[in-house]
């Protein structure tokens, strides 16, 4: 596979999230350069970026390896997203453009249609696009980047179970868009907070293999804030 040098970081991150590179596994520059069809220089730069993001760690005598997050670290990231998504919605109500609003409304219509048809795989993708677009509508580059990183890491650490009532979930999103459209930041924040609390309970830690599982924490995990 050959990809542009500037996309190496994205490609490696995507492969970590999807499990191609297992947790704890070594990431050698030579093998990665060969896999992605680039020189070792962009690979080295990508590994530095991914280490700063928390996907990669450098170990003595082993070099770069895929990180092995603890349950506490995973819970902390989910809680952070639950705090930041409502902030993005509140800012979107003040800063969104008509283009943002048009896309959000279109995604809600598609989501409600797919929910009626029971098309679960489409709903998962549409939900991701909805929250990405909502963040973009905040017109806050730092917040957008942080939320994108959180979504990547949460997808890496958790499996999300399909909602028992998918149409209700899209009704919640429709209400958020309505508040954003009317410029009601406080209502957009409150509705998004409620939506995130409802969906938090659907997250289950990935435990597929001993090499790829989330490690046990050294201390008990406080999951009170993650309950429905």
SS3 87: helix
104 CB neighbour count, 10 Å cutoff = 25
Asked if residue 131 has pLDDT above 80, the reply is: yes
What digits encode the pLDDT tens for the residues 104-127? Answer: 999 999 999 998 887 666 788 899
pLDDT of the residue at 121? 67
Where residue 161 falls among pLDDT bands split at 50, 70, 90? confident
159 CB neighbour count, 10 Å cutoff = 12
Q: Which helix (H) or strand (E) holds 65?
A: strand 63-66
Phi-psi region of 68 (alpha: psi -120 to 50; beta: other; left: phi over 0): beta
Phi-psi region of 58 (alpha: psi -120 to 50; beta: other; left: phi over 0): beta
Closest CA to 96 of 172, 195, 178, 197: 178
Asked if residue 206 has pLDDT above 90, the reply is: no
Domains and CATH numbers, the chain: 5-66 (1.10.10.10), 71-205 (1.20.120.530)
Closest CA to 88 of 139, 128, 148: 139
Summary mean pLDDT of the chain: 88
pLDDT of the residue at 4? 78
What digits encode the pLDDT tens for the residues 8-44? Answer: 999 999 999 999 999 999 999 999 999 999 999 999 9
User: What is this structure's pTM?
Assistant: 0.81
Closest CA to 227 of 202, 201, 204, 203: 201
């Amino acid at each position: 596979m050959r990809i542009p040098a500037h996309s190496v970081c994205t490609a490696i991150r995507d492969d970590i999230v999807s499990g191609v590179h297992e947790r704890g596994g070594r990431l050698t520059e030579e093998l990665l350069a060969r896999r992605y069809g680039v020189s070792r220089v962009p690979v080295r730069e990508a590994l530095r970026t991914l280490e700063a993001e928390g996907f990669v760690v450098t170990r003595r005598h082993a070099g770069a390896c895929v990180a092995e997050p603890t349950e506490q670290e995973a819970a902390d990231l989910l809680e952070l997203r639950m705090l930041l998504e409502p902030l993005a919605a509140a800012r979107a109500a003040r800063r969104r453009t008509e283009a943002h609003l048009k896309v959000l409304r279109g995604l809600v219509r598609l989501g409600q249609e797919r929910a009626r048809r029971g098309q679960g795989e489409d709903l998962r993708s549409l939900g991701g696009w909805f929250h990405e677009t909502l963040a973009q509508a905040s017109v806050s580059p730092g917040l957008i980047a942080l939320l994108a990183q959180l979504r990547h890491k949460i997808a890496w650490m958790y499996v999300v179970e399909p909602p028992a009532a998918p149409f209700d979930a899209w009704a919640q999103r429709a209400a958020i868009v309505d508040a954003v459209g009317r410029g009601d930041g406080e209502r957009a924040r409150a509705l998004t907070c409620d939506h995130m609390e409802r969906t938090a309970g659907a997250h289950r830690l990935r435990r597929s293999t001993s090499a790829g599982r989330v490690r046990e924490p050294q201390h008990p995990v406080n999951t009170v804030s993650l309950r429905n």
